């Protein structure tokens, strides 16, 4: 049975997060299966930055594995998983590309989309992109990021709005780790597949350029983005990436295990 097959996937712990051994096709099938039933289901495309933040941020660390489907967004994450577990993953599962795969299947099934996060300009442009490219996946609603955490009353209102909209998929673009925390904290509350996809909003809205494919394929997307946004991203890439490499070497050479 198609959906039963889509539901079957294994998880592998890398330091703390439990990554699913999936590719674009299987990950998008799993998401669509839950979306069609309006099941509360959490998804994160977690790269090195999010992984290392889960180790240093106790709040995120406690919640991260409440997210049902964590996919290996970055090439270094894929390489590490393959090194520890011999999974033979042929490619990462990049959040912006996974978003397109899900939108394509949502279009085929007539599933509706709710946009949660980002600023007004980017959200509007992303909405226009979806309406143009995936006309059979209607926008059920749109909520701009407050750029702060919601009050209890605001959060209840948000949940009610999303659920009453009938949205099947909620695309969450709040930046890592805020979007992961939001997804984890709304499991069982929002009746939809919630996807923490961050930069997908900017990339598909056209407000931020993506790295060339050859840089993405060789794990150099960080360099492209660093050149574009040096003041914002230098610490993320130089400090966080260095910590990841040291953690990998320690676990691989000394501990000889992935966690």
pTM: 0.92
Residue 105 has pLDDT above 50, yes or no: yes
5 band by pLDDT with thresholds 50, 70 and 90 = low
Mean pLDDT, the chain, rounded, equals 93
Residue 240 CA to residue 50 CA, distance in Å, equals 9
Structure tokens at 96: 């912006």
Residues in the chain: 259
- The answer to whether the beta carbons of residues 183 and 194 sit under 8 Å apart is yes
Stretch 198-214: mean pLDDT: 88
Stretch 35-41: mean pLDDT: 97
197 band by pLDDT with thresholds 50, 70 and 90 = very high
Domain regions of the chain by residue span? 19-145+152-203
- How confident is the model over 66-103, as pLDDT tens digits? 999 999 998 999 999 999 999 999 999 999 999 999 99
Residue 230 CA to residue 202 CA, distance in Å, equals 17
Residue 38 CA to residue 151 CA, distance in Å, equals 25
Q: Where do we find the tokens 């999010």? A: 50
List b or e across 176-190, with b for residues whose CB sees 16 or more CB atoms inside 10 angstroms.
bbbbbbbbbbbeeeb
What phi, psi does 142 have (nearest 5°)? -150, 125
Give the pLDDT confidence score for residue 230 in this predicted structure: 84
Residue 19 CA to residue 72 CA, distance in Å, equals 6
Stretch 11-33: mean pLDDT: 98
- How confident is the model over 138-178, as pLDDT tens digits? 999 999 999 999 999 999 999 999 999 999 999 999 999 99
1 band by pLDDT with thresholds 50, 70 and 90 = very low
């Amino acid at each position: 049975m198609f959906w039963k097959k889509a539901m079957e996937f294994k998880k592998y712990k890398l330091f703390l997060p439990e990554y699913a051994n999936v590719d674009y096709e299987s990950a998008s099938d799993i998401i669509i299966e839950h979306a069609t039933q309006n099941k509360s289901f959490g998804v994160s495309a977690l790269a090195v930055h999010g992984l290392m933040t889960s180790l240093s941020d106790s709040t995120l660390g406690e919640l991260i594995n409440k997210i049902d489907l964590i996919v290996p967004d970055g090439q270094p994450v894929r390489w590490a998983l393959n090194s520890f577990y011999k999974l033979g993953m042929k490619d990462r599962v990049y959040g912006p590309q996974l978003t397109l795969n899900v939108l394509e299947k949502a279009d085929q099934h007539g599933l509706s989309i709710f946009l949660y996060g980002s600023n007004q300009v980017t959200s509007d442009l992303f909405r226009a992109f979806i309406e143009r490219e995936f006309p059979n996946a209607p926008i059920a609603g749109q909520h701009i990021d407050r750029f702060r955490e919601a009050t209890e009353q605001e959060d209840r209102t948000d949940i009610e709005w999303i659920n009453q909209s009938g949205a099947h998929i909620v695309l969450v673009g709040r930046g890592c780790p805020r979007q992961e925390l939001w997804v984890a904290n709304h499991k069982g509350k929002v009746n939809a597949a919630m996807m923490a996809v961050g930069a997908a909003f900017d990339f598909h809205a056209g407000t931020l350029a993506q790295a060339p494919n050859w840089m993405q394929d060789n794990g150099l997307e960080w360099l492209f983005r660093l050149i574009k946004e040096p003041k914002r991203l230098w610490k993320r890439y130089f400090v966080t990436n260095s910590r990841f490499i040291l953690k990998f070497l320690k676990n691989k050479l000394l501990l000889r295990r992935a966690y």
